[in-house]
Chain A
Amino acid sequence: MAGHSSGTNRGSHSMDKSITLPPDEIFRNLENAKRFAIDIGIRIPLIYTWFRLRHVVTISMLQEADGDPLYEISVQEEITARLHFIKFENAYIETCLDFIKDHLVNTETKVIKATGGGAYKFKDLIEKKLKLKVDKEDEMSCLIKGCNFVLRNIPHEAFVYAKHADSEFRFQTTHPDIFPYLLVNIGSGVSIVKVESEDQFERIGGSSIGGGTFWGLGALLTKTKVKFDELLQLASKGQHTSVDMLVKDIYGGAYGSLGLTGDLIASSFGKSATADKEFSKEDMAKSLLHMISNDIGQLACLYARLHNLNRVYFGGFFIRGHPVTMHTITYSINFFTKGEVQALFLRHEGYLGAIGAFLKGAEEDNPNQYSWGENYAGSSGLMSVSPDLNPMQRARSGTFDMLEMDRLERQLVNLPLLQDPSSYIPDTMDLTEDALAREYWLYCFEEALDGVVKRAIASQPDMPEAAERAEKFRQKYRHKLQTLRNQPFAYGSLTVRSLLDTREHCLNEFNFPDPYSKIKQKENDVALRYYLKVVKSLEELSWEQRQFALVRGLLAGNVFDWGAKAISDVLESDPEFGFEEAKRQLQGNTETFYTQTIRGGPPHTCALFFVDNSGIDIILGVFPFVRELLGRGTQVVLASNSGPALNDVTNGELQILTERIAAMDPVIHSAFKEDRLTLVQSGSSSPCLDLSRLDKVLATVVRERQTDLVIIEGMGRAIHTNYYAMLSCESLKLAVIKNSWLAERLGGKIFSVVFKYEVPPKH
């Protein structure tokens, strides 16, 4: 409890006022907060929504005229909702309330939802300070609501803790159906709750031996005015074997016939039943920790078995990110279930109660109807409060912790064509576990930072303060990279995708919503001029020649990628670098798909195509290919990003481009008109692709049209993610490796072609 200076019990009202709040960081946008909720325990999470003004780039079609760009770009403001979560020690509550009072100007709300044991204690204080009515909500139902919310909306929310593994945190892909599960909440006591659906849950048991027992008994035994964290720290230094009676103390060795090893604890504190021996504080604390953790683990197992549940989440202040308790609980669960049940922990465990209280207050906004996404730019990430960590991190984790969730415009669901949604992992490489790859990519992103900053400034030539904002962006992202270097697990598994997404989030944060908008515009413009020429030259080829040319074109188009450093350097220095040149650079052969499918089999009913870059890629690579598919009688669904990311084509841009192409090309025109060619948005604003979080409309279209071919294009979507994704229909993953390190890792050279055609096993 850093900063809890009074040293008295947690209910003490003596507040530490000396702390100064870094307001723009912690309580940002507070002035427009709409709703509040608070969960008062030992650390207090407070949350509020803010309907933020977001800068978005919009494009609008211009009348066709020579010399004019094909569409106009403008920056507009859009209102979206964001949840802000702040967690602080309850010692700061008064300071924080004062701060909120001073800054809360525009709110219309009259009520603050409150939960947690302290809600009763601090009710008056809150009402007096904020002039808001405190509306108390049941603790447990808030907890469950919050738990459902994070499990549903935050990928990599749950993790398994493995103390001695390379990466301590092993994140779990969230099962599409989160129910049923068991929640073991270890506060001062223990509650064991079975959750069967959003509204249906039952406290099936509990125990009075919990965090309060550890704290209370620990303080008595060690005879010091200890804080909870200090007690854990003592425990982590102790040896329980001097206090506990082990099986070998009774048997001289193992109790073989029962399979009980000698080191097993036979009787906790069994050796301390003597008056003439002194025991160290550390040893007693350790023994106590083992005793309580084992006991809770055992009860949890008994309940899990009785109710036939194998997903067991642990939470409460006893756990709250403490490696020591996560380890002892994990150990206990493994022991009692012989590995059948895994102890799962949650990244945002400390926020559950507040989130639940908030959701109860926000029911009129229907928060559960939306999908939400974690904003990496504004979230602290998972902090280890391990006593072994360096003091700087400890101090930070001890004071304020933040989480921001953005409301997504669209509801996200699984791609119906995933072979096994519960085992689908989008990311190809887990950098949390692969230290070498982590080093490389962190270095890579750090290296590329200057270029990104330059690009951001250049994208807003009319705004003089752009440079200043870009500099802030640089600092923010560099800081994130630094954090991830130390704590790769901060936002779940570290992946190339999360690094890319974090960068996009940071850019957005400083109002660089689409740094590539102008480049995309220019490239689209240029590529459109060549479209008819390309189509014509393709038509002149024999059928077979044309098939190869189409695939080569598709791949060559994918070379034009500003996200890849090797390419952006070339494009930057040699603007004349052309489509033909790109084709010459390609390495590898591409015959499989055509020999196996197009030539042999009947045409597909419907192809879903996840597209990648603007410009040459989409216009000269993808569209001719789409045209060929349409010609075979295959319907085509083009899925593009909902929001901007790098130079990826967005759904908005693709609308305009398609109309332009349709105006030139009767094949596209009729297909578009007759809805044989459909544009859908992916629901994502990432250069990568998570097939478990896609726009609901996309999923519906895919199902309705009986999609039997999925094409995924580009490094971000087909290599960094989905390289190993198994689909229930034929799929084609294609990309050009524009990174020599990665090419080498995959056993090829730069500009090697990945052309992965897969047919699902027949039933």
Chain B
Amino acid sequence: WRNSKTSDKNNNCRLIRASCGRNGRSKGGLQKAFRSPLGHGAGIDGLHHNHHLLYDPQASGSPAKRCRLRRRVDSLKKNRPPFPWFGMDIGGTLVKLVYFEPKDITAEEEQEEVENLKSIRRYLTSNTAYGKTGIRDVHLELRNLTICGRTGNLHFIRFPTQAMHRFIQMGRDKNFSSLHTTLCATGGGAYKFENDFRTMADLELLKLDELDCLIHGLLYVDSVGFNGHPECYYFENPSDTQNCVKKPCCLDNPFPMLLVNIGSGVSILAVYSKDNYKRVTGTSLGGGTFLGLCCLLTGCETFEEALEMASKGDSTNVDKLVKDIYGGDYERFGLQGSAVASSFGHMMSKDKRESISKEDLARATLVTITNNIGSIARMCAVNEKIERVVFVGNFLRINTVSTKLLAYAMDFWSKGQLRALFLEHEGYFGAVGAFLELLKSSEEP
């Protein structure tokens, strides 16, 4: 292990958390558990970053104590949920799936492993694409993770929600229900497709709140880091396009933060601690709007295609700038001539509509949606008096135009007061949160 110390810590952490859970937690999910006094004392902090526990000389000190720990590991094995371990987030556009691949399978285990479980494992880990639309984001894989006493890799897979029924079909064909695993699912689809899972594949979903999962997943991934690197990053010199560079950073002491989740739509949360947050507002102008409008305007079919076009386009052919109206800056109000005065404003003219390129339209759509999210997020941050704004969600996937624009908008309009932060696993935190819940829920005797 490259980072054995950390992993070890995490291991201990989880042990403490798990034992706690066994002792006193009622059924009903992370959030509830965190709120119980017992859970709060050790549970949450143990899970994430109450690192002082790990250095507790009593915990790692005497041989007797180490021995006790080992016994706990053993006892834990019996209450571990059966493989496979999944966590799923069924959104409006995309399904995000995380899968834990155990790497510490003993020969004995290998023999006991039922055939369909083996085939699921092989199928998922040996491919990077599934069917026509399923994709494994190999670059996001978290390696050598120790969870519940097991070590392995966490895989990140996504496919369009439209393919959900095919997925359920597959679950039936592979006789998934015989594995007696709990399918932890969050996102709206957990509710929408619950009945389909039941009737088509004989599977019961454990439905989880998407915002709970989002926050827990995010804090977890941040705490374990990205294979030895920080999960979080920001842009240095966001207002200077020449010198704007991506920089890793730590999300130590992350509260309070304004969490902006840009999926099909946008939710904005003020997070004060792991289990204390509120949804400040949301907007329907999100990733779904970008893709929806791009499809209508350019005839493209995928997010990748839309972004590709946007990267080549020039939005100033579509948008009316302040200088297009005032000939320069609007000094009375301190508006720069280069600021967008009216998104799609040039398109009021028939001639300009007829000569515009698809790339320019895609770019304008992207800029419009991104700026609007930035503007609402900034207002929320000011209203809630929070300086740290964390942007997540799959809209930001492979989308440096937007991340840079958001970083610029936060910095410029707040005169440097606000900082935009981003996370490498942008859209997967809900699924990770659901996955964590699986491990907890199965701890019940």
Contacts from A to B (Cβ < 8 Å): 7-11, 117, 120, 138, 140-141, 187-189, 191, 203, 205, 207-213, 215-217, 219-221, 225, 243-245, 247, 249-253, 255, 257-258, 265-275, 279, 284, 291, 294-295, 298-299, 302-303, 305-306, 336
Contact (A302, B379) CB under 8 Å given A117-B325, A275-B295, A275-B301: yes
Contact A268 B288, beta carbon cutoff 8 Å:
yes
B-chain residues with CB within 8 Å of residue A251 when the two chains form the complex = 188, 191-192
Q: Which 4 residue pairs of A and B lie closest in terms of their CB atoms, listed nearest first? A: A216-B347, A269-B292, A267-B288, A250-B188
Contact with A305, one of B264, B296, B383 (Cβ below 8 angstroms):
B383
- State the CA gap A273–B292 with chains docked (Å): 4
Contact A245 B333, beta carbon cutoff 8 Å:
no
- State the CA gap A8–B351 with chains docked (Å): 8
Nearest CB on B from A634, distance (A):
56
Nearest CB on A from B384, distance (A):
10
A-chain residues with CB within 8 Å of residue B73 when the two chains form the complex = none
B65 at the interface (CB under 8 A from A): no
Contact A217 B284, beta carbon cutoff 8 Å:
no
- State the CA gap A731–B211 with chains docked (Å): 61
- Extra 14 A-B pairs, beta carbons < 8 Å, given A212-B342, A221-B293, A302-B376: A189-B342, A208-B340, A212-B341, A212-B348, A219-B348, A225-B350, A250-B92, A252-B191, A255-B188, A258-B211, A266-B264, A273-B93, A274-B301, A336-B281
- 18 cross-chain CB contacts under 8 A: A9-B352, A117-B325, A188-B345, A188-B348, A203-B333, A208-B341, A209-B343, A209-B368, A215-B348, A217-B343, A219-B347, A221-B293, A247-B188, A265-B265, A268-B289, A269-B296, A275-B295, A336-B281
B-chain residues with CB within 8 Å of residue A210 when the two chains form the complex = 342-343
Contact B292 A267, beta carbon cutoff 8 Å:
yes
A interface footprint on B279-294 (CB within 8 Å = 1, 0 otherwise): 1010111111101111
Contact with B376, one of A255, A271, A298 (Cβ below 8 angstroms):
A298
A-chain residues with CB within 8 Å of residue B284 when the two chains form the complex = 244, 265-268, 270, 291, 294
Contact B368 A213, beta carbon cutoff 8 Å:
yes
Contact (A221, B296) CB under 8 Å given A208-B341, A266-B265, A268-B284: yes
Contact B347 A271, beta carbon cutoff 8 Å:
no
- State the CA gap A279–B319 with chains docked (Å): 24
Nearest A-chain residue to B263, judged by Cβ: A267
Contact B342 A213, beta carbon cutoff 8 Å:
yes
Nearest B-chain residue to A204, judged by Cβ: B333
B-chain residues with CB within 8 Å of residue A272 when the two chains form the complex = 292-293, 295-296
B19 at the interface (CB under 8 A from A): no
Nearest B-chain residue to A277, judged by Cβ: B295
Contact A208 B368, beta carbon cutoff 8 Å:
yes
B361 at the interface (CB under 8 A from A): yes
B-chain residues with CB within 8 Å of residue A138 when the two chains form the complex = 332
B-chain residues with CB within 8 Å of residue A250 when the two chains form the complex = 91-92, 187-189, 192, 264
Contact B293 A249, beta carbon cutoff 8 Å:
no
Contact B191 A245, beta carbon cutoff 8 Å:
no
B-chain residues with CB within 8 Å of residue A215 when the two chains form the complex = 344, 347-348
B398 at the interface (CB under 8 A from A): no
Contact B342 A217, beta carbon cutoff 8 Å:
no
Contact A216 B188, beta carbon cutoff 8 Å:
no
Q: How large is the interface on B (under 10, 10 to 19, 20 to 34, 35 or more residues)?
A: 35 or more
Contact (A266, B92) CB under 8 Å given A140-B332, A209-B368, A279-B296: yes
B-chain residues with CB within 8 Å of residue A209 when the two chains form the complex = 285, 343, 368, 372
A-chain residues with CB within 8 Å of residue B155 when the two chains form the complex = none
Contact A275 B299, beta carbon cutoff 8 Å:
yes
Contact B285 A217, beta carbon cutoff 8 Å:
no
Contact B292 A271, beta carbon cutoff 8 Å:
yes
- State the CA gap A253–B189 with chains docked (Å): 10
Most buried by B among A11, A203, A213, A216: A216
B182-234 interface (Cβ within 8 A of A): 187-189, 191-194, 209, 211
- State the CA gap A219–B92 with chains docked (Å): 28
Contact with A213, one of B93, B289, B291, B345 (Cβ below 8 angstroms):
B345
Nearest A-chain residue to B339, judged by Cβ: A208
- State the CA gap A187–B322 with chains docked (Å): 13
B-chain residues with CB within 8 Å of residue A271 when the two chains form the complex = 292
A interface footprint on B322-362 (CB within 8 Å = 1, 0 otherwise): 00010100001101000111111111111111000000010
A-chain residues with CB within 8 Å of residue B300 when the two chains form the complex = 275
Nearest B-chain residue to A247, judged by Cβ: B188
Nearest CB on B from A134, distance (A):
15
Nearest CB on A from B354, distance (A):
10
B-chain residues with CB within 8 Å of residue A267 when the two chains form the complex = 92-93, 263-265, 284, 286-289, 292
- State the CA gap A221–B350 with chains docked (Å): 13
Nearest CB on A from B393, distance (A):
12
Contact with B372, one of A8, A217, A295 (Cβ below 8 angstroms):
A295
- State the CA gap A212–B349 with chains docked (Å): 10
B-chain residues with CB within 8 Å of residue A120 when the two chains form the complex = 327
Most buried by B among A11, A120, A251: A251
Nearest CB on B from A587, distance (A):
61
Nearest CB on B from A251, distance (A):
4
Contact (A295, B283) CB under 8 Å given A209-B368, A269-B292: yes
Nearest CB on A from B417, distance (A):
14
Contact A295 B285, beta carbon cutoff 8 Å:
yes
B-chain residues with CB within 8 Å of residue A247 when the two chains form the complex = 188
- State the CA gap A140–B326 with chains docked (Å): 12
- State the CA gap A211–B189 with chains docked (Å): 35
Contact B292 A268, beta carbon cutoff 8 Å:
yes
- State the CA gap A65–B379 with chains docked (Å): 80
Nearest B-chain residue to A209, judged by Cβ: B343
Nearest CB on B from A140, distance (A):
6
- State the CA gap A270–B371 with chains docked (Å): 18
B95-131 interface (Cβ within 8 A of A): none
- State the CA gap A146–B82 with chains docked (Å): 72
Contact with B382, one of A265, A275, A306 (Cβ below 8 angstroms):
A306
B442 at the interface (CB under 8 A from A): no
Contact B348 A10, beta carbon cutoff 8 Å:
yes
Contact with A270, one of B93, B194, B319 (Cβ below 8 angstroms):
B93
B169 at the interface (CB under 8 A from A): no
B297 at the interface (CB under 8 A from A): yes
Most buried by B among A10, A269, A302: A269
A-chain residues with CB within 8 Å of residue B209 when the two chains form the complex = 257
- State the CA gap A273–B91 with chains docked (Å): 14
Most buried by A among B288, B297, B335, B346: B288
B320 at the interface (CB under 8 A from A): yes
Contact A9 B342, beta carbon cutoff 8 Å:
no
Nearest CB on B from A225, distance (A):
5
A-chain residues with CB within 8 Å of residue B345 when the two chains form the complex = 188-189, 208, 212-213, 216
Contact with B344, one of A10, A216, A299, A302 (Cβ below 8 angstroms):
A216
- State the CA gap A208–B344 with chains docked (Å): 9
B-chain residues with CB within 8 Å of residue A249 when the two chains form the complex = 92
- State the CA gap A219–B319 with chains docked (Å): 14
A-chain residues with CB within 8 Å of residue B291 when the two chains form the complex = 273
Nearest CB on A from B264, distance (A):
4
Contact A299 B264, beta carbon cutoff 8 Å:
no
Contact A216 B379, beta carbon cutoff 8 Å:
no
Nearest CB on B from A292, distance (A):
9
- State the CA gap A141–B283 with chains docked (Å): 31
B-chain residues with CB within 8 Å of residue A7 when the two chains form the complex = 350
- State the CA gap A273–B211 with chains docked (Å): 25
A-chain residues with CB within 8 Å of residue B288 when the two chains form the complex = 245, 266-270, 273
Nearest CB on A from B279, distance (A):
6
- State the CA gap A298–B280 with chains docked (Å): 12
Nearest CB on B from A203, distance (A):
4
A-chain residues with CB within 8 Å of residue B92 when the two chains form the complex = 245, 249-250, 266-267, 270
Nearest A-chain residue to B345, judged by Cβ: A212
B380 at the interface (CB under 8 A from A): yes
- State the CA gap A207–B192 with chains docked (Å): 35
B311 at the interface (CB under 8 A from A): no
- State the CA gap A275–B303 with chains docked (Å): 12
Contact A245 B264, beta carbon cutoff 8 Å:
yes
